[in-house]
């Protein structure tokens, strides 16, 4: 089997298992010739572990892409030198007189410029910190991997968001809640003595897209993770990740003072409880001096919390925040709460709980809000809490692990979904107040800005179960760094770095990715339908009317009957639409103007309701389900046409998943339409 690179030449393909993710450093094709003239020597100033990582990454990557090694650090520069450094460690960075521009990019940003030193044309990667220099290095290598021109560069980058975290739902027994790629990466029984090479590979992958931290345990937290035994294990990982700029965070169980500390209460206003948390924070920072902080799921789905003691979420968060504050740590308090006594509609409950607490949280607390008001559905309107909290930092929680989006069996690129979310206009302070601007503190000033992703890589060779699921890890990192990037641009980058620079193949794969989420929505839950599933969140179960809670059933949400379907959240219904600011509220409330993609989320409609297409609602639903299944089959066929361009192993593994997707899409179509057709 052979494949053509960008030059059209044919080279044998070697099977790959996906373990290198988007850091394969394959030949960029035609561009390699010019790169060899531009990059002849590498000079990295600094003797730290991070400098060593930069140096090793550059030499390995460029040698792999260009087919030959380049000169290592020399006393002098020559034409074609690639220089990496910071003002602290490098005299030539100081001599370039870029200090004003460097101040503008902050601690994590960088400059990449084509310049002249001692009459030699050189390429410079300069940053204020070595972590910034590492990010700049990966940016430069990304340009080479994707075949971009590097002869005349003038790049200045800084992250839009401060906090860019992986949220792992890993358990201490090695299982992963909503994990679809094998067992947990963290080998707790071997830590801290044995450090698996995969831990370094993980930190390197995160750093390559600007991810700067990880919460390594499940939000349904086992209290033992805060015990001395497990803190030493976490500290070993933190030490390994520190040179990559990846900080350690932990999910904390609110009842830890009782279950781990032996106290009689976890009441946040009890002095002994506060003292316990302060002592625990001191213990953690003694082991992990740059510990990032706690993520907390409280009073949600059986997890303990402050309401157990008649206290508020703010009071619960603040006792932990006070313990972390002397160490400059933070608390991420999840807004995923839906107590039935708050409101009959689950979609309204978090807004009601948290808006009344705005301004009551400590400065080092951020409320972590899912992108939509239910639970990572294939399509939801943005959560109304975005833009509603004027005095409290709000960070976004998205989910790359595809819990409700085909798990690791369906090809669903989520860059398009997240862009839809980030570009949504909250109108919190007038038009243009997008979610992205809210998160960046540009709508209401915010002490903490950020976005996190529930991303559950496991021990499978390709990390994510489905090769294309890697794209969602990648897209999260790129969007957390810069929410203004386009989903298509990110898909193109990932495709070139992961599979090939062949132009026709890149176009075909990018098109598959860009349409995949809409395809999934069409064959599962179109027109604003949501939660048509059972307990495993995978297969269609619109008939599901039995669960421990009514809001875990499907019938609670679709409310289908002989006279119609949909959840009436309008002003004349349960009023949920009023949690959005004008004119968003008016848009969603007006059945004639409400985007049809959200129609049944906000409106209850008769089966004969006339859609913009001229079809009745029932006819439109049928058309969506049939089109989605057809599009899944077309995606399978398009992938098959690439069998001479993608290596046989990965092509075959993806093809098997696509066959499952085609069969599943037909099953969704048939079961949903049969049920609603009654």
Q: What is the dihedral of CA 580, 581, 586, 589, to 10 degrees?
A: 10
Same structural domain, 244 and 281: yes
Residue 248 has pLDDT above 50, yes or no: yes
pTM: 0.97
Contact 544, 678 (CB under 8 A): no
Percent of the chain with pLDDT over 70: 98
pLDDT band at 11 (very low <50, low <70, confident <90, very high): low
Looking up residue 126, the CATH number of its domain turns out to be 3.30.379.10
> What is the reported pLDDT for 614?
98
Contact 50, 240 (CB under 8 A): no
pLDDT per position as a tens digit, 642-673: 999 999 999 999 999 999 999 999 999 999 99
Same structural domain, 410 and 292: yes
pLDDT per position as a tens digit, 189-235: 999 999 999 999 999 999 999 999 999 999 999 999 999 999 999 99
Contact 133, 126 (CB under 8 A): yes
Which of 622, 612, 604, 620 is CA-nearest to residue 562? 604
Q: Which residue has the tokens 């002849």?
A: 40
The domain boundary residue, chosen from 87, 122, 156 = 156
Note if the bond before 205 is cis, omega within 30 degrees.
no
Spot the catalytic one: 301, 340, 608, 674.
Answer: 301
Q: Could you count the other beta carbons within 10 Å of the beta carbon of residue 656? A: 12
Is residue 536, in this structure, part of any structural domain at all?
Answer: yes
Contact 589, 552 (CB under 8 A): no
Same structural domain, 133 and 210: no
Same structural domain, 130 and 51: yes
Contact 170, 455 (CB under 8 A): no
Same structural domain, 179 and 103: no
pLDDT per position as a tens digit, 419-451: 999 999 999 999 999 999 999 999 999 999 999
pLDDT per position as a tens digit, 107-118: 999 999 999 998
Contact 507, 652 (CB under 8 A): no
Looking up residue 362, the CATH number of its domain turns out to be 3.20.20.80
pLDDT band at 8 (very low <50, low <70, confident <90, very high): very low
Q: Is 564 helix (H, G, I), strand (E, B) or coil?
A: strand
Looking up residue 659, the CATH number of its domain turns out to be 3.90.1330.10
Same structural domain, 131 and 199: no
Q: Could you count the other beta carbons within 10 Å of the beta carbon of residue 391? A: 12
Say if strands 330-334 and 365-370 run parallel, antiparallel, or are unpaired: parallel
Is residue 445, in this structure, part of any structural domain at all?
Answer: yes
Is residue 14, in this structure, part of any structural domain at all?
Answer: no
- Round to whole Å and give the CA distance between 351 and 337: 9
Across residues 540-560, what is the average pLDDT? 97
Q: In sequence order, what DSSP letters do the residues of 175-214 get, joined into one string?
A: -BTT--SSSBS--TTTTTT---HHHHHHHHHHHHTT--EE
Residue 148, phi then psi, degrees to nearest 5: -85, 155
Contact 334, 381 (CB under 8 A): no
Is residue 7, in this structure, part of any structural domain at all?
Answer: no
Spot the catalytic one: 397, 403, 460, 493.
Answer: 403
Across residues 231-259, what is the average pLDDT? 98
Same structural domain, 136 and 92: yes
Same structural domain, 98 and 176: no
Contact 380, 436 (CB under 8 A): no
> What is the reported pLDDT for 30?
93
> What is the reported pLDDT for 72?
81
Phi-psi region of 423 (alpha: psi -120 to 50; beta: other; left: phi over 0): alpha
Which of 88, 145, 87, 89 is CA-nearest to residue 111? 87
Q: Could you count the other beta carbons within 10 Å of the beta carbon of residue 469? A: 33
Q: How many domains does the chain have?
A: 3
Count Cα atoms within 13 angstroms, Cβ side, for 408.
Answer: 22
Same structural domain, 178 and 112: no
- Round to whole Å and give the CA distance between 424 and 443: 13
> What is the reported pLDDT for 118?
86
Asked about 375 being catalytic, the answer comes back as yes
Residue 501 has pLDDT above 50, yes or no: yes
Is residue 443, in this structure, part of any structural domain at all?
Answer: yes
Say if strands 110-117 and 120-126 run parallel, antiparallel, or are unpaired: antiparallel
Q: What is the dihedral of CA 46, 48, 54, 59, to 10 degrees?
A: 80
- Round to whole Å and give the CA distance between 432 and 430: 6
Residue 5 has pLDDT above 70, yes or no: no
Q: Where are the alpha helices (DSSP H) in 525-607?
A: 555-558, 584-589, 599-602
Contact 107, 182 (CB under 8 A): no
> What is the reported pLDDT for 3?
44
Same structural domain, 386 and 414: yes
Could you tell me which residues are beta bridge partners of residue 602?
A: none
E strands present in 30-157: 41-44, 81-85, 110-117, 120-126, 154-157
Name which of 78-92, 466-480, 618-632, 637-651 the model is least confident about: 78-92
- The overall average pLDDT reported for the chain is 96
Is residue 375, in this structure, part of any structural domain at all?
Answer: yes
Q: Which helix (H) or strand (E) holds 101?
A: helix 99-105
The maximal CA–CA distance of the chain, rounded, in angstroms, is: 82
DSSP 399: E
pLDDT per position as a tens digit, 264-282: 999 999 999 999 999 999 9
Across residues 401-409, what is the average pLDDT? 98
Residue 124 has pLDDT above 60, yes or no: yes
The domain boundary residue, chosen from 464, 498, 532 = 498
Which of 115, 29, 56 is CA-nearest to residue 80? 115
> What is the reported pLDDT for 7?
42
Is residue 590, in this structure, part of any structural domain at all?
Answer: no
The domain boundary residue, chosen from 156, 182, 202 = 156
Spot the catalytic one: 45, 222, 267, 375.
Answer: 375
Residue 539 has pLDDT above 50, yes or no: yes
For 101, the domain range is 21-156
- Round to whole Å and give the CA distance between 382 and 366: 18
Could you tell me which residues are beta bridge partners of residue 295?
A: 251, 332
pLDDT band at 12 (very low <50, low <70, confident <90, very high): low
Same structural domain, 377 and 408: yes
Q: How many residues does this entry show for the chain?
A: 678
Is residue 391, in this structure, part of any structural domain at all?
Answer: yes
Which of 127, 275, 617 is CA-nearest to residue 267? 275
Residue 1 has pLDDT above 50, yes or no: no
> What is the reported pLDDT for 78?
84
Percent of the chain with pLDDT over 90: 96
Hey, what are 240's tokens? 């390994």
Hey, what are 500's tokens? 């090939």
pLDDT per position as a tens digit, 38-95: 999 999 999 999 999 999 999 999 999 999 888 887 667 788 999 999 999 999 999 9
- Round to whole Å and give the CA distance between 373 and 582: 18
pLDDT band at 106 (very low <50, low <70, confident <90, very high): very high
DSSP 261: T
Count Cα atoms within 13 angstroms, Cβ side, for 232.
Answer: 8
Q: Which residue has the tokens 């609603």?
A: 676
pLDDT per position as a tens digit, 578-602: 999 999 999 999 999 999 999 999 9
Same structural domain, 240 and 337: yes
Count Cα atoms within 13 angstroms, Cβ side, for 644.
Answer: 9
- Round to whole Å and give the CA distance between 562 and 573: 19
Asked about 340 being catalytic, the answer comes back as no
> What is the reported pLDDT for 10?
56
Q: Is 423 helix (H, G, I), strand (E, B) or coil?
A: coil
pLDDT per position as a tens digit, 353-365: 999 999 999 999 9
- Round to whole Å and give the CA distance between 371 and 419: 11
Asked about 403 being catalytic, the answer comes back as yes
């Amino acid at each position: 089997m052979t494949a053509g690179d960008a030059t059209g030449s044919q080279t044998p393909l070697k099977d790959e298992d996906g373990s290198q993710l988007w850091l394969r450093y394959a030949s960029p094709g035609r561009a390699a010739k010019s790169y060899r003239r531009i990059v002849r020597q590498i000079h990295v100033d600094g003797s730290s572990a991070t400098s060593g990582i930069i140096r090793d990454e550059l030499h390995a990557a460029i040698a792999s892409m260009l087919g030959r090694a380049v000169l290592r650090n020399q006393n002098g520069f020559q034409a074609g030198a690639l220089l990496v450094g910071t003002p602290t460690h490098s005299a030539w960075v100081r001599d370039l007189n870029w200090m004003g521009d460097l101040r503008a990019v902050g601690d994590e940003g960088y400059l990449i410029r084509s310049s002249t030193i001692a009459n030699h044309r050189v390429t410079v990667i300069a940053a204020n910190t070595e972590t910034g220099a590492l990010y700049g290095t990966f940016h430069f290598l990304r340009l080479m991997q994707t075949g971009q021109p590097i002869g005349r560069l003038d790049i200045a980058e800084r992250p839009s968001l401060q906090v860019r975290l992986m949220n792992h739902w890993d358990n201490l027994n090695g299982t992963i809640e909503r994990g679809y790629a094998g067992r947990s990466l963290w080998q707790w029984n071997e830590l801290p003595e044995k450090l698996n090479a995969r831990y370094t590979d993980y930190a390197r992958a995160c750093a390559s897209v600007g991810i700067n931290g990880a919460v390594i345990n499940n939000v349904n937290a086992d209290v033992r993770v805060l015990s001395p035994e497990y803190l030493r294990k976490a500290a070993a990982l933190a030490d390994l990740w520190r040179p990559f700029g990846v900080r350690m965070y932990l999910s904390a169980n609110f009842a830890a003072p009782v279950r781990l500390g032996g106290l009689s209460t976890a009441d946040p206003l009890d002095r002994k409880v506060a003292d316990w948390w302060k002592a625990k924070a001191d213990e953690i920072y003694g082991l992990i001096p740059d510990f990032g902080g706690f993520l907390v799921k409280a009073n949600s789905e059986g997890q303990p919390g402050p309401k157990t003691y008649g206290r508020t979420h703010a009071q619960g968060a603040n006792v932990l925040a006070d313990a972390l504050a002397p160490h400059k740590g933070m608390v991420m308090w999840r807004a995923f709460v839906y107590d039935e006594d708050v409101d009959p509609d689950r979609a309204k409950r978090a807004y009601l709980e948290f808006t009344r607490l705005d301004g009551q949280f400590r400065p080092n607390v951020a409320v972590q809000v899912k992108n939509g008001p239910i639970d990572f559905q294939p399509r939801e309107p943005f959560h109304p809490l975005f833009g509603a909290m004027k005095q409290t930092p709000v960070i976004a929680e998205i989910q790359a692990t595809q819990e409700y989006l085909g798990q690791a069996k369906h090809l669903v690129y989520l860059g398009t979904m997240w862009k839809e979310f980030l570009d949504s206009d909250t109108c919190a302070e007038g038009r243009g107040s997008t979610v992205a601007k809210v998160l960046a503190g540009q709508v209401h000033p915010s002490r903490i800005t950020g976005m996190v992703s529930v991303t559950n890589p496991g021990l499978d060779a390709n990390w994510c179960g489905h090769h294309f699921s890697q794209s969602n890890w990648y897209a999260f990192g790129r969007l957390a760094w810069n929410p203004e990037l386009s989903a298509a641009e990110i898909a193109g980058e990932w495709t070139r770095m992961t599979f090939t620079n062949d132009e026709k193949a890149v176009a075909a794969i990018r098109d598959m990715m860009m349409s995949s989420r809409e395809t999934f929505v069409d064959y599962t839950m179109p027109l604003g339908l949501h939660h048509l599933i059972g307990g495993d969140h995978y297969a269609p179960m619109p008939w599901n009317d039995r669960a421990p809670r009514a809001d875990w059933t499907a019938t609670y949400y679709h409310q289908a009957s002989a006279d119609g379907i949909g959840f009436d959240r309008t002003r004349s219904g349960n009023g949920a639409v009023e949690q959005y600011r004008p004119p968003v509220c008016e848009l969603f409330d007006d059945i004639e103007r409400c985007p049809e993609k959200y129609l049944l989320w906000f409106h209850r409609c008769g089966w004969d309701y006339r859609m913009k297409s001229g079809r009745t609602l029932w006819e439109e639903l049928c058309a969506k389900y049939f089109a989605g299944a057809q599009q899944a089959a077309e995606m399978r066929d398009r992938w098959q046409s690439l069998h001479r361009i993608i290596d046989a192993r990965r092509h075959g593994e993806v093809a098997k998943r696509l066959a499952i997707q085609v069969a599943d899409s037909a099953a969704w179509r048939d079961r949903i339409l049969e049920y609603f057709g009654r």
